């Protein structure tokens, strides 16, 4: 069976759980959120990602009820939540500091909201046990917050937030206080818990890796606006602007002028001497030959079959016609009588002659043309590359860059080519690639499983190339100050116009 991918945003019949409709939030003359409209669906893990001051926390506080929109409407399950106070909304929030009660045990912290709702004691106990099991905190139920680790406190805060079964859980930088290794482990725990409970999670973070790991969709924000909403792979592989490309992961951005490549045309920077010249006149080709090893072949070259026909003579056999251009024979040659005697008498003893040469007919004009037009493998510097796409003139004295997947653009459009380091190859010899530039290794960032090479091109531009460390360090042949070539395919980069 084909895998069913969770993507309700692609289903026109699916109704969103949360709807922002032309929402604006101002603080005096400062606009924190500027006329934003977007949807969040049930059971989605949605990430608000952006730098400090972009408005992501303000967006979350409006969902929680701590701020009200200056303009626009926020709907939860089709209902305007503006008039509903925070404690009455089906929304819960997990704070970055966790906000645990230090004098209460883990069990009592989780039960706090349920007790405030005055639920029966047996229901409270059952729900707390369920949350302890979900977050794997059963054996820590009697401990106080200062008696458990940071990761465990984070799980206590999460269990308390989920205990009341909210439709929406807001997470404000929940992993910011954890170390890198624990943060990575907790990310997967969050995903597992969200999937088991089916609760809609909205997480606010400035950590790109965190958002890309946990979220089903990511909203990249800048200056109070959402620049792009997409799945993590779409955000990374197909950013819609240079800002998104630069904010998510490592990238090299080349700025230049785009020119469309007509079918069969060479790049604009190709040297005039490289233009295709008229084919030079060709000499007549020497007919190919093949050796005849059977007596029957004698008849095909004119050796007489009638025993009365040959006449004993010391004259050598007639020369082959000049058109055949046969290779001259070396040493003494048999006459006609000798040939006849060998084929009729001695062939039974010594076997057929091997000195007979039969000329193959010369190739036809069509065969000669087909041979000239046969495609050959050529190095990248000949500019024999696939048709279509654009060239980007980006630096004086440098070859134009080729982008085969570029959108339709007018010649002269200013563009940026976004290139991820893992899509860039690096070698000491010039590769057979569509795009290849020469440079020098300035720095190497060793990350254990990966190494990132910082290469300075001949015009001073820096580009990053990333390789997996599949070999021991002692066996790697590229190091600091080495002259290298960086290369990439025509489809590796993303052409951006904004």
User: What are 78-105's pLDDT values in tens digits?
Assistant: 999 999 999 888 898 887 777 889 999 9
Where residue 469 falls among pLDDT bands split at 50, 70, 90?
confident
**Picking from 137-151, 251-265, 324-338, 345-359, which range would have the lowest pLDDT averaged per residue?**
324-338
Task: Note the pLDDT of residue 288.
Answer: 45
Do residues 275 and 266 lie in contact, with contact meaning Cβ atoms separated by under 8 Å? yes
Mean pLDDT for all residues in the chain: 80
Where residue 280 falls among pLDDT bands split at 50, 70, 90?
very low
Residues 138-187 have pLDDT tens digits of 999 999 999 998 888 888 988 898 888 888 999 888 777 677 777 787 78
Q: Which of residues 282 and 387 earns the better pLDDT score?
A: 387
**Picking from 50-54, 116-120, 327-331, which range would have the lowest pLDDT averaged per residue?**
327-331
Do residues 289 and 359 lie in contact, with contact meaning Cβ atoms separated by under 8 Å? yes
Domain spans, the chain: 15-251, 253-264+390-496
Q: Which of residues 312 and 38 earns the better pLDDT score?
A: 38
- Cα 246 to Cα 239: distance, rounded to the nearest angstrom: 9
Helix, strand, coil percentages in the chain from 3-state DSSP, rounded to 5? 30, 25, 45
Q: Is the pLDDT of residue 284 over 70?
A: no
* CATH number of the domain located at residue range(s) 253-264+390-496 in this protein: 2.40.50.140
Do residues 496 and 416 lie in contact, with contact meaning Cβ atoms separated by under 8 Å? yes
Task: Note the pLDDT of residue 168.
Answer: 92
Rounded to 5 degrees, what are φ and ψ at 372?
Answer: -65, -35
Task: Note the pLDDT of residue 297.
Answer: 44
Task: Note the pLDDT of residue 291.
Answer: 44
Where residue 369 falls among pLDDT bands split at 50, 70, 90?
low
> What is the rounded average pLDDT of the residues 471-478?
74
Question: Cα–Cα distances in Å, from 309 out to 113, 125, 337, 338?
Answer: 122, 121, 9, 13
Domain 15-251, CATH homologous superfamily name and number: P-loop containing nucleotide triphosphate hydrolases (3.40.50.300)
Q: Is the pLDDT of residue 283 over 60?
A: no
Residues 172-230 have pLDDT tens digits of 887 776 777 777 877 888 888 888 888 999 999 888 888 999 999 999 999 999 999 99
């Amino acid at each position: 069976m084909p895998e069913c991918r969770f993507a309700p945003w692609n289903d026109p019949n699916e109704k969103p759980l949360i709807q922002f409709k032309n929402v604006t939030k101002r603080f005096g003359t400062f606009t924190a959120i500027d006329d934003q409209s977007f949807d969040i669906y049930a059971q989605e893990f949605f990430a608000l990602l952006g730098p400090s001051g972009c408005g992501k926390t303000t967006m979350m506080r409006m969902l929680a009820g701590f701020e009200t929109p200056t303009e626009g409407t926020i709907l939860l399950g089709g209902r305007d939540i503006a008039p509903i106070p925070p404690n009455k909304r089906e929304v819960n929030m997990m704070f970055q500091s966790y906000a645990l009660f230090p004098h209460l045990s883990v069990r009592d912290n989780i039960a706090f909201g349920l007790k405030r709702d005055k639920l029966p004691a047996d229901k409270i106990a059952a729900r707390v046990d369920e949350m302890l099991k979900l977050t794997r905190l059963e054996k820590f139920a009697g401990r106080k917050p200062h008696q458990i680790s940071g990761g465990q406190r984070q799980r206590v805060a999460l269990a308390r937030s989920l205990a009341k079964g909210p439709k929406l859980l807001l997470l404000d930088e929940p992993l910011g206080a954890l170390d890198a290794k624990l943060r990575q482990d907790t990310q997967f725990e969050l995903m597992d818990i969200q999937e088991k409970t089916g609760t809609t999670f909205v997480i606010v973070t400035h950590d790109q890796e965190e958002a890309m790991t946990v979220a089903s969709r990511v909203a990249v924000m800048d200056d109070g606006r959402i620049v792009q909403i997409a799945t993590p792979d779409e955000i990374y592989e197909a950013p819609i602007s240079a800002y998104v490309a630069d904010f998510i992961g490592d990238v090299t951005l080349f700025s230049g002028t785009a020119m469309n490549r007509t079918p069969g045309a060479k790049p604009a920077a190709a040297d005039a001497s490289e233009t295709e010249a008229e084919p030079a006149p060709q000499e007549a080709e020497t007919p190919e030959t093949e050796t005849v090893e059977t007596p029957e072949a004698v008849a095909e070259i004119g050796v007489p079959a009638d025993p009365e026909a040959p006449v004993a003579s010391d004259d050598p056999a007639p020369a082959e016609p000049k058109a055949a251009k046969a290779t001259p024979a070396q040493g003494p040659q048999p006459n006609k009588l000798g040939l006849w005697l060998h084929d009729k008498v001695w062939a039974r003893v010594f076997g057929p002659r091997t000195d007979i040469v039969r000329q193959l007919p010369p190739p036809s004009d069509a065969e000669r043309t087909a041979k000239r037009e046969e495609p050959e493998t050529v190095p990248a510097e000949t500019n024999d590359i696939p048709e279509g796409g654009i060239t980007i003139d980006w630096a004086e004295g440098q070859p134009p860059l080729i982008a085969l997947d570029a959108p339709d653009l007018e010649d002269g459009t200013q563009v940026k080519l976004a290139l991820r380091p893992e899509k860039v190859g690096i070698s000491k010899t010039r590769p057979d690639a569509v795009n290849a530039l020469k440079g020098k290794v300035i720095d190497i960032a060793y990350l254990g499983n990966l190494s990132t090479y910082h290469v300075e091109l001949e015009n001073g531009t820096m580009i990053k190339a990333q390789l997996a460390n599949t070999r021991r360090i002692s066996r790697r042949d590229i190091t600091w100050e080495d002259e290298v070539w960086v290369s990439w395919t025509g489809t590796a980069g993303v052409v951006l116009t904004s």
